[in-house]
């Protein structure tokens, strides 16, 4: 949520900052800005709307210099206006700052500063921080100490980069609760909230931890805590490549990522399935062998799509591993009194590894004694580092705001964890073999499901004028209904609701009429006959039924208005296939409605505020 880029070195900063912002735009895109320093003067450029508008501005009026900071915003405090766009500059015009996160005590600090005569320009909480730094700097004349003192005074979360006219070759960056990565080049440094903005320049990076601060300049990198205690940082190598962040001929990242799924599912399973297909090897779980063996309960949590994956995980853990499992919205977990019994395994699911609510939930359950495991895609992300053990998805960066390939890889990893836990208990070799053999075949079957694309596109053209849709599923496909509804909401702004199919008759059935497409997920599993009965109920009320069904199912063709067939598989794995046509349906409906698929309004890829 919001993207930060900073550069100091010998190259033209403006270009590097702008290219970085373009790569970060999926994190927030309602306004953007940059400031460079040239001959002691700030060159400040800001635009409301997309980064392209900033691009147009700097094409005419370039920001010169070899040092600068930039930001793309997802508004929290204050509308997406030019005044509210970052970078913010202090009253005296000497200190500039970009900020991700939220300053919770901004009102009291603002009143204090206003009483001291400081004049504010924006409505943002972020400006309070730069004004506070500027105010302290006026008093002390020591920039670094002023940044430290200001950061001690603020409550909330931040990832910041500070540039000061009086220190024309130095950037100061610090974090608490909002990610920052330092890229190490030849006599140059990059700072970003996200590896995607750095990878074009260097693969050598340092991840800042909470409460750390770095000075980047001619003397190299000095890392300390915010309280000035020295810290040792190690250099990591980025695993992503620039190519992975490009469109490579696809119209949108979302479509590209939908099509990447056969490969991403192969990658997520690579080296993890035993050749005899009776067990899995999850290297990332070796740190919690004891906890896995003693696990009495599991608690799965995440937000958005990751929460839907958790709901499917609940079926898998209970059925394959016989472990009582509960699922929580990460955002709700910490506001209850979560009772963590001895032997609880807490599994945090997050594509980005930075979602603030999921991270807060990790910290909460850790404090209460749970063993924590992360199912995360972004290597080196905060959740990956703060969980005691973890399994990376290894699917490359996911850039489309609507999650697709991360969802299916999360499901695949959850199947592997459930089998691993099951094999330590009562899951027989034969049953494990059947599941894992089938899991091996899933990427090919996903490839086959993707051949539905043209059919789905035609169907979307037929349906996308309708504003309200229902998605129904049972058992393990109930969360798929939730995910299908979320996908179409996110990218096409069609209102959709996902329900357990049987719940429809307890209220939502009142809405069904010929103008309400009803998407029913109806693979041939033990719920099949009941789902057919629900289809009949919709038909009797003139609803339009779009069924997602198993290839070769001729019965359903008689009942549904449209059928999208996916290959047969065992019921536990069917979400990996039934979700594919739903992703395509959301994508094509959005394109046909003229939506900006990769940058849907009001959303952000990585939500680092609570």
The set of catalytic residues is 2, 605
My answer on whether omega of the bond before 87 falls inside 30° of 0, hence cis, is yes
Among 543, 605, 608, 609, binds ligand G6P (CB under 6 A): 605
Structure tokens at 491: 């990218």
Residue placing its CB nearer to ligand G6P in the complex, 87 or 304? 304
Determine the Cα–Cα distance for residues 330 and 416; give it in Å rounded to an integer.
22
- Ordered DSSP codes for 110-171: HHHHHHTTPPP--S-HHHHHHHHHHHHHHHH--HHHHHHHHHHH--B-EEEEEEETTSTT-E
Question: From residue 392 to residue 411, what is the string marking binding to ligand G6P with x (rule CB under 6 A)?
Answer: ---------xxx--------
* Cα 166 from Cα 41, distance rounded (Å): 10
Given a contact cutoff of 8 angstroms between Cβ atoms, the answer to whether 336 and 326 are in contact is no
Nearer to ligand G6P, 389 or 401 (CB): 401
358: contact with ligand G6P by CB under 6 A: yes
Of 351, 372, 408, 492, the residue at the interface with ligand G6P (CB under 6 A) is 351
Q: Which residue is nearest to ligand G6P (CB)?
A: 304
Query: Which residues, 6+ apart, have CB-to-CB distance to 567 below 8 Å?
Result: 445, 448, 449, 550, 551, 577
Q: Does 236 bind ligand G6P (CB under 6 A)?
A: no
| Of 351 and 524, CB closest to ligand G6P | 351
Identify the residue among 278, 279, 606, 608 touching ligand G6P (CB under 6 A).
Answer: 606
Indicate whether 607 belongs to the interface with ligand G6P (CB under 6 A). yes
Q: How far is the CB of 460 from ligand G6P (least distance, A)?
A: 20
- Tell me the closest approach of the beta carbon of residue 126 to ligand G6P, in angstroms: 21
Burial class (CB in 10 A: 0-12, 13-18, 19+), 240: middle
DSSP designation for 77: S
Size of the site for ligand G6P (CB under 6 A): 17
Element housing 530 (H / E): helix 528-539
User: Given the rule CB under 6 A, which of 150-158, 352-360, 469-477, 507-515 is the region that contacts ligand G6P?
Assistant: 352-360
Q: Does 599 bind ligand G6P (CB under 6 A)?
A: no
Tell me if 435 contacts ligand G6P by CB under 6 A.
no
Can you give the length of the chain in residues? 610
| Least distance from ligand G6P to the Cβ atom of residue 348, Å | 9
Q: State the Cα–Cα distance between residues 447 and 566, nearest whole angstrom.
A: 10
Q: Which is nearer to ligand G6P, 42 or 74 (CB)?
A: 74
| 579 binds ligand G6P, rule: CB under 6 A | no
**Closer residue to ligand G6P in complex, CB, 239/277:** 239
Please state, in angstroms and rounded to a whole number, the distance separating the CA atoms of residues 70 and 63.
11
Q: Is 355 in the site for ligand G6P (CB under 6 A)?
A: yes
**Residue 530 CB, nearest approach to ligand G6P (Å):** 29
The DSSP line for 493-507 is: --EEEEEEGGGGGGT
Contacts of 515 (CB under 8 A, 6+ apart): 466, 468
**By CB under 6 A, what part of segment 291-320 binds ligand G6P?**
302-306
Considering beta carbons, is residue 128 or 482 the nearer one to ligand G6P?
482
Least separation, in Å, of the C-beta of 257 and ligand G6P? 11
How far apart are the C-alpha atoms of 524 and 593, rounded to whole Å?
33
Minimum gap (Å) between residue 572 Cβ and ligand G6P: 22
Query: Quick one: which segment of 207-215, 256-264, 344-352, 439-447 binds ligand G6P (CB under 6 A)?
Result: 344-352
- C-beta of 350: minimal distance to ligand G6P in Å? 3
Q: 189 vs 407, which CB is nearer to ligand G6P?
A: 407
List, in sequence order, every residue forming a beta bridge with 344; answer none if it has no partner. 297
Q: Is 492 in the site for ligand G6P (CB under 6 A)?
A: no
Stretch in the footprint of ligand G6P (CB under 6 A) among 4-12, 26-34, 500-508, 602-610? 602-610
Give me the residues paired with residue 44 across strands. 35
* 486 CB-near residues (< 8 Å, 6+ apart): 304, 305, 308, 496, 498
Shortest distance, position 88 Cβ to ligand G6P, whole Å:
25
Q: Is the dihedral of CA 104, 174, 398, 235 positive or negative?
A: negative
**Interaction between residue 350 and ligand G6P (CB under 6 A):** yes
* Minimum distance from residue 459 beta carbon to ligand G6P (Å): 24
Q: How many CB atoms lie within 10 A of CB 8?
A: 27
Examine residue 179 and tell whether it contacts ligand G6P (CB under 6 A). no
Q: Give min distance, CB of 605 to ligand G6P, in A.
A: 6
- Report the Cα 457 to chain-centroid distance in Å: 26
Contact by Cβ (8 Å): 598, 590:
no
Note whether 527 binds ligand G6P by CB under 6 A: no
Contact 544, 511 (CB under 8 A): no
- Of 44 and 603, which CB lies nearer to ligand G6P in the complex structure? 603
Distance, first Cα to last Cα, the chain:
11
Per CB under 6 A, does 381 bind ligand G6P? no
Which is nearer to ligand G6P, 512 or 604 (by Cβ)? 604
Give 428's contacts (C-beta < 8 A, 6+ positions apart). Answer: none
Residues binding ligand G6P (CB under 6 A):
302-306, 350-352, 355, 358, 401-403, 603, 605-607
């Amino acid at each position: 949520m919001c993207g930060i880029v900073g550069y100091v070195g010998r190259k033209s900063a403006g270009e590097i900052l702008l290219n970085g912002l373009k790569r970060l735009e999926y994190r927030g895109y309602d306004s953007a800005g940059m400031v460079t320093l040239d001959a002691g003067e700030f060159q400040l450029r800001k635009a409301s709307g997309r980064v392209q508008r900033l691009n147009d501005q700097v094409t005419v009026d370039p920001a010169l210099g070899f040092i600068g900071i930039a930001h793309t915003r997802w508004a929290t405090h204050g509308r997406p206006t030019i005044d509210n766009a970052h970078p913010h500059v202090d009253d005296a015009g000497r200190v500039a700052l970009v900020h991700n996160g939220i300053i919770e005590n901004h009102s009291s600090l603002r009143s204090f500063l206003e009483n001291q005569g400081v004049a504010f320009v924006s409505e943002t909480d972020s400006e309070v921080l730069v004004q506070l730094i500027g105010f302290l700097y006026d008093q002390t004349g020591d920039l670094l100490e002023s940044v430290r003192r200001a950061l001690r005074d603020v409550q909330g979360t931040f990832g910041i980069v500070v540039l000061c006219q009086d220190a024309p070759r130095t950037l100061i960056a610090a974090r608490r609760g909002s990610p920052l990565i330092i890229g190490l080049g030849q006599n140059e440094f990059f700072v970003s909230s996200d590896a995607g903005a750095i990878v074009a320049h260097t693969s050598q990076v340092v991840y800042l931890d909470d409460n750390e601060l770095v000075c980047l300049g001619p003397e190299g990198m000095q890392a300390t805590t915010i309280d000035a205690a020295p810290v040792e940082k190690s250099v990591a190598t980025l695993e992503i490549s620039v190519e992975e962040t490009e469109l490579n001929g696809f119209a949108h990242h979302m479509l590209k990522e939908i099509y990447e799924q056969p490969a991403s599912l192969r990658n997520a399973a690579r080296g993890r399935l035993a050749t005899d297909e009776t067990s899995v090897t999850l290297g990332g779980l070796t740190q919690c062998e004891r906890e896995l063996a003693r696990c009495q309960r599991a608690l799965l949590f995440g937000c958005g799509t990751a929460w839907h994956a958790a709901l499917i995980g609940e079926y898998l853990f209970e059925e394959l591993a016989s472990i009582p499992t509960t699922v929580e919205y990460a955002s709700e977990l910490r506001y209850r009194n979560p009772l963590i019994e001895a032997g609880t395994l807490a599994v945090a699911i997050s594509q980005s590894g930075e979602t603030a609510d999921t991270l807060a939930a990790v910290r909460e359950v850790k404090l209460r004694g749970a063993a924590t495991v992360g199912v995360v895609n972004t290597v080196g992300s905060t959740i990956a580092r703060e969980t005691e053990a973890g399994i990376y998805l290894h699917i490359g960066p996911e850039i489309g705001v609507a999650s697709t390939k991360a969802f299916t890889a999360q499901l695949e990893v959850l199947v592997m964890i459930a089998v691993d836990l099951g094999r330590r208990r009562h899951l027989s070799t034969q049953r494990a073999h059947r599941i894992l053999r089938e899991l091996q075949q899933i990427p090919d079957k996903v490839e086959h499901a993707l051949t539905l694309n043209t059919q789905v596109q035609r169907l979307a053209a037929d349906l996308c004028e309708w504003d309200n849709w229902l998605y129904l599923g049972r058992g393990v496909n109930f969360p798929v209904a939730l995910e299908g509804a979320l996908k179409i909401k996110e990218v096409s702004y069609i209102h959709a609701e996902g329900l357990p199919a049987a719940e429809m008759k307890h209220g939502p059935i009142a809405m069904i009429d010929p103008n309400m497409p009803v998407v029913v997920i109806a693979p041939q599993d033990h719920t099949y006959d009941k789902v057919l009965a629900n289809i009949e109920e919709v038909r009797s009320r003139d609803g339009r039924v779009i069924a997602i069904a198993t290839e070769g199912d001729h019965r359903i063709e008689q009942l549904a208005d449209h059928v999208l067939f996916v290959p047969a598989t065992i019921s536990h794995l069917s979400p990996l296939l039934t979700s594919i046509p739903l992703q395509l349906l959301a994508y094509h409906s959005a394109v046909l409605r003229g939506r900006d698929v990769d940058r849907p309004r009001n959303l952000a890829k990585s939500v680092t505020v609570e």
